[in-house]
Amino acid sequence: MTQPPTAAPPPHPRGNEIIEYPPHNEEIANRVESWWDTRPCKNLFSPTSPKGGTDIIISSMIDLLHNGTKDPKKLIENTESELTYYQGKSIEIKATYLRMAYVFALEHMPLKTWGWCCERAIKMLETVGRDDVTCSQTLTKWNREFRKNRTFRSPITKKKYSPSLLDKHPEAKAIICKWAGDNLNAPLSCESLAVFVRENLAKELYEKIKDDCTLTLDEFTDSLNLTKFSVSSASRYLKHLGFRYSTRRKSYYNDKHESDENKAYRIKYINKYQEYEKDAYRWVQVPEEEAIMLENEQGLLPGVAAHYYDGMREYRVDSHPSFSERNVGLSVRRDPNVSPKVICGQDETAVKQFTF
C-alpha cells in the first residue's frame, strides 16, 4: 500500500539552508554534491578557479598567507616594488587575520556563515593581544581583494614633490638654503622668499653656472620664467627643502656651570657671599662653657664656630638643631652702618610630567 506524500518543509528564511541527502546506497551518495563544490562557495573564495575542490584551494591559500606573514613581498602584485616598514606591516596584518578566518571557514562552514568566521578570527586574535581589526567587514573586503589572484594590491607610494627648477639646477637649492638660513630671524617668510626668487635668484644662479652656460644673463633669466613666482610656490619650496614654521620650537640651554670663567669666579663669589652673610639673620651667640658642653654631650662639631670673642662663640644657626630655638640675629662682625640683607637662592630642576 502506497503512503501519501509528505508535505515539503517550509523554505529557510535566508534561503541558504543545508539539505541533507539520505545515502540510500553508494551510487546515490557518490552523486551528492559537496558544499565546497557549489557555485556560491566558489564565488565566495575562488571565483576564477576550475570547478570543484574549493576546500583544497582554501588550504593552499592558508599556507600562502602563512608564508606571507614572514615575507610580505610574496603577497603583493608587484613583487619588485620596495615596501616601507609600515607597508610591510599592513600586509602582515591582512595575512594574519585572513589566514585565521580561512581556518575557521574550513572547520565550520557551511554550518556557520563567512561573517561568523571573520568575527571568530578577530576574537581569537584578541586573546593573544592583537587588536588591529575590530570589524568583520574589513576581513570580507580583504577576502575579495585576495581571492582572485592570491595577492593584495601593491601599496600606493606617493611621489615626493620636487620642484623642476631644483631638479634642473641643483645649485639653486644651495642658494635658497643659504639665503633662508641667513634670514631665519628676519623673519623668514614665504613672501620674502618669493621676492628673493623673483629678483635675485637668477643672478646668483647665473654667476655659478655662467662658465658652462651659453646664454646671456637676460636670456637665462627669461628661460627660468621666475617673474611670476608666487607665494604658494615659495611655500612648497620651503617645505621641500625641510623648513617648517612653528610658533614653538625645541631649544637647548647650557647653564655654563663648568665653563672656565665660572670656575675661576667661584672663589671670588664664595668670599663675597661670606661677607654678605654677616648682614643676614643667620647667627647665634653661645657662651664658651655652654658650647663646650654641647660638643661633649649633644654632638656639636668642634671647630665649626665662625668667631670667638670675650668668652663667647658665634655659630651659624644650622650648626646644631638646638640653635633654631634661640634668638637668631645678625653677626657681631658686621658693619653697623650697612643695612641687613635677605639672601634668596635659586636653582633649576627637571620635571617629568605624569610620572605618578
Residue 205, C-beta contacts closer than 8 angstroms, at least 6 positions apart: 169, 171, 172, 175, 220, 224
Residue 324 lies in a domain: yes
* Tens digit of each residue's pLDDT (9 = 90 or more) over 172-216: 888 999 898 888 877 788 888 999 988 888 888 888 888 888 888
User: Phi and psi (nearest 5°) for 248?
Assistant: -125, 145
User: Are 231 and 291 contained in the same domain?
Assistant: no
Spatial separation of the C-alpha atoms in residues 161 and 241, rounded to whole Å: 11
Residue 173 lies in a domain: yes
Among residues 113, 146, 179, the one where a domain terminates is 146
127 pLDDT above the threshold of 70? yes
- Lowest-pLDDT range of 168-172, 186-190, 331-335, 351-355: 351-355
Mean pLDDT for the chain overall: 81
Q: Is residue 287 classed as helix, strand or coil in its secondary structure?
A: strand
Residue 108 lies in a domain: yes
User: Are 135 and 174 contained in the same domain?
Assistant: no
User: Are 97 and 137 contained in the same domain?
Assistant: yes
Among residues 116, 146, 176, the one where a domain terminates is 146
Residue 18 lies in a domain: no
Is residue 140 a contact partner of residue 45, using CB atoms and an 8 Å limit? no
User: Phi and psi (nearest 5°) for 13?
Assistant: -60, -30
- Lowest-pLDDT range of 25-34, 74-83, 144-153, 187-196: 25-34
User: Are 111 and 190 contained in the same domain?
Assistant: no
User: Are 112 and 69 contained in the same domain?
Assistant: yes
Q: What's the pLDDT band for 5 if we cut at 50, 70, 90?
A: low
User: Are 198 and 229 contained in the same domain?
Assistant: yes
Residue 252 lies in a domain: no
Q: What's the pLDDT band for 122 if we cut at 50, 70, 90?
A: very high
Q: How far is CA 108 from its chain centroid?
A: 41
Q: What's the pLDDT band for 120 if we cut at 50, 70, 90?
A: very high
* Tens digit of each residue's pLDDT (9 = 90 or more) over 243-255: 887 766 666 667 7
User: Are 116 and 172 contained in the same domain?
Assistant: no
Among residues 120, 146, 172, the one where a domain terminates is 146
Spatial separation of the C-alpha atoms in residues 278 and 283, rounded to whole Å: 8
Residue 279 lies in a domain: yes
Structure confidence at residue 121 (pLDDT): 92
Residue 3 lies in a domain: no
Residue 29 lies in a domain: no
Q: What's the pLDDT band for 37 if we cut at 50, 70, 90?
A: confident
User: Are 225 and 299 contained in the same domain?
Assistant: no
**Range(s) of the domain holding residue 135:** 36-146
User: Are 232 and 311 contained in the same domain?
Assistant: no
Q: How many domains does the chain have?
A: 3
DSSP string, 215-263: S-HHHHHHHHT-TT--HHHHHHHHHHTT----SS--------TTSHHHH
Residue whose C-alpha is closest to residue 54's, from 119, 99, 102: 102
The model carries a pTM of: 0.41
Task: Please compute the mean of the pLDDT values over residues 291-298 and round it to a whole number.
Answer: 90
Please state at what angle helix 85-108 crosses helix 54-70, rounded to 10 degrees.
150
